[in-house]
Amino acid sequence: MEKGKIKNCKTLPGADANTDHNLLVANLKTKLKHIIRQRGNDNWDFRALKNDSAIMYGKKVNEVPAKTDKRLHINEEWKLGKNAIWKG
């Protein structure tokens, strides 16, 4: 603790506890560190989304849910979708 940060300090002997310790109450002056948030790269290349591999990937991902005729539990649907994305 740096010098001059404690503004007021007092002890409360026997404060609501059956002990020989004294409760310490203090007012402190704190200074928070300013953190500069780094910005990500906001330049997206949308031309890369229109190539043939992206179109094939989209077709593979969309055909997996169409293969199942019955209604599945949400966790099973999630696993199917996740596997389709990874395998696509």
- What are the structural domain ranges in the chain? 1-30, 46-87
Whether pTM > 0.75 for this model: the answer is: no
- Residue 66: name the closest of 88, 84, 54 by CA: 84
Q: Which of 6-10, 37-41, 53-57, 77-81 is modeled with the greatest confidence?
A: 6-10
Q: Which residues face 12 on adjacent strands?
A: 23
In Å, the largest CA–CA distance within the chain is 78
Output 81 or 29, whichever has higher pLDDT: 29
Tens digits of per-residue pLDDT, 10-49?
988 775 666 777 888 999 998 888 888 877 767 777 776 6
Q: Is-contact 62 80, C-beta < 8 A? A: no
Q: Is 22 helix (H, G, I), strand (E, B) or coil?
A: strand
